[in-house]
C-alpha cells in the first residue's frame, strides 16, 4: 500500500513541475489532446499502461 501512495506522490510531483514550471507547455499539450481522435488517445493510453506494467515488473522482479 505504501508503494501505491509513493507512486501517486510522484505523479503529483511530475504534474506539479509541468503546471507550475511550464504552464505554457501544459496549455499547448491540453489543446493537442482536445484535437486528438479518441482512438489515438485510447491506443496511447493502453501503450502507456503496458509500458508502466513492464517497468514495474522489471524493477520488482
20 vs 26: CA distance, rounded Å:
9
Average pLDDT rounded to a whole number, residues 30-48: 95
What does the mean pLDDT of the chain come to? 93
Please give the pLDDT value at position 2. 86
Q: Average the pLDDT over 46-52 and give the result.
A: 95
- Confidence check: pLDDT of 61 > 90: no
Average pLDDT on 15-26 reads 93
pLDDT band at 25 (very low <50, low <70, confident <90, very high): very high
Q: What is the pTM of this model?
A: 0.70
* Cα→Cα distances 10→4, 5, 35, 36, Å: 10, 9, 28, 26
Amino acid at each position: 500500500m505504501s508503494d501505491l501512495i509513493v507512486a501517486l506522490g510522484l505523479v503529483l510531483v511530475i504534474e506539479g513541475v509541468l503546471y507550475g514550471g511550464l504552464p505554457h507547455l501544459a496549455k499547448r499539450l491540453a489543446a493537442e489532446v482536445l484535437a486528438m481522435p479518441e482512438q489515438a488517445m485510447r491506443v496511447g493510453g493502453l501503450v502507456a499502461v503496458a509500458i508502466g506494467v513492464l517497468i514495474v515488473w522489471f524493477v520488482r522482479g
